[in-house]
Amino acid sequence: MTPTTMTAEEAQAKRESFFTKELAGFDEFRSDCEALSQEFKHLKIENVNDKKGFDEVHRAEQTIKRKRLEIDKLGKATRADSNAFSQAVIERVKELLAIMEPEEKRLKEAKKAITDEKERIKKEKEAEAEKKRVERFNKMRDLGMVYCDARFYISADLQKYSDRDIGFWSITVKDLEKKTEAEYIAFSESISQIFDQINEKKKAEEDEAKRKKAEADRKIKEEQEAEQARLDEQKRVQEEAQKKIDEDLKRIEEAKELESLDKKDGGVVETVRDLQLDKIMKENEANEISKGKIKEWKEREKFDEKIHELRYGTDGLEIWTKPQLISIFREL
């Protein structure tokens, strides 16, 4: 059954008709009220001694008062009827609404169930979209892309490792979210391959740099070790040469001391010198330079004096006997 509906104009006309009917009793008093408002305008009280004027004003006031009370009484009665009617209207409305309430409630709940389901689906889709957005966002970062100003791109220092066009290196988050799953997977795989290529070339470059550095370090170390070996050998040769020089100088000095001994020592100088020369000759038998040095040493002056000083000291007292001095030089 199609419910009866009433337009706003029809409802307003019905209300006005109802009000006109209910308020008709008050219209009967309009002419009386208008007449009484004009009837007594001429009345006035001249002074406190004007009894006649006072009485006339009093009677006129009472006449208007009675009409006022009559109108108030009608108003109260009408309001009482109106209140009763209002209550009856309220009860009738409740009765009618109670008839439809269960069905309205059922329809409302059915509508709410669908609305709630739509909202749940909407939130589920939003959550899924957010999850997908975050996953894609993190995937781009995990691959190595840089994020800035709502855009992902591959840093310029890595672009040199690939021959791809520069436009390939950038994508907005919005464009990334718009991609279908198949498009996103293809894009991710392509980016992953590019980074594999980049990392491979970068690692090769780093390995080559490490190799070159290691080679340079090895050469430096070898050069340092060779230089140190050269210095060590130079030092050894110098030390051996110095040692030989020191030994020769020592022998020369010893020979010079024996040469300086006084001839009166009864052949001590000659004996000691012969022993010393014999020792040097044996050690340097094949060395012509040493023979030249020995010849030079034999001809040194003041050798006898040194031998004499060695035997007697500076005060002339004998320190060593001839046999003792010869024995000392035999041990040299």
Write down the domain spans for the chain: 19-79, 243-331
CB-side exposure of 311: number of CA atoms within 13 Å?
27
Instruction: Using pLDDT thresholds of 50, 70 and 90, give the confidence band for residue 54.
Output: very high
More confident residue, 300 or 37: 37
In angstroms, the CA 181 to CA 129 distance is 12
Whether 311 contacts 261, CB under 8 Å = yes
Residue 51 has pLDDT above 60, yes or no: yes
Q: What is the pLDDT of residue 79?
A: 83
Q: Which two tokens stand for residue 8?
A: 């706003």
In angstroms, the CA 3 to CA 187 distance is 60
Range with the largest mean pLDDT of 95-99, 116-120, 153-157 = 116-120
Enumerate residues 6+ apart whose C-beta is below 8 A from 114.
none
In angstroms, the CA 40 to CA 33 distance is 12
CA 30 to chain centre: 89
Mean pLDDT lowest for which of 27-36, 80-89, 219-228, 264-273? 264-273
In angstroms, the CA 177 to CA 152 distance is 12
Task: Give me the chain's average pLDDT, please.
Answer: 77
Mean pLDDT lowest for which of 33-37, 124-128, 268-272? 268-272
- Closest Cα to residue 140, out of 213, 198, 192? 192
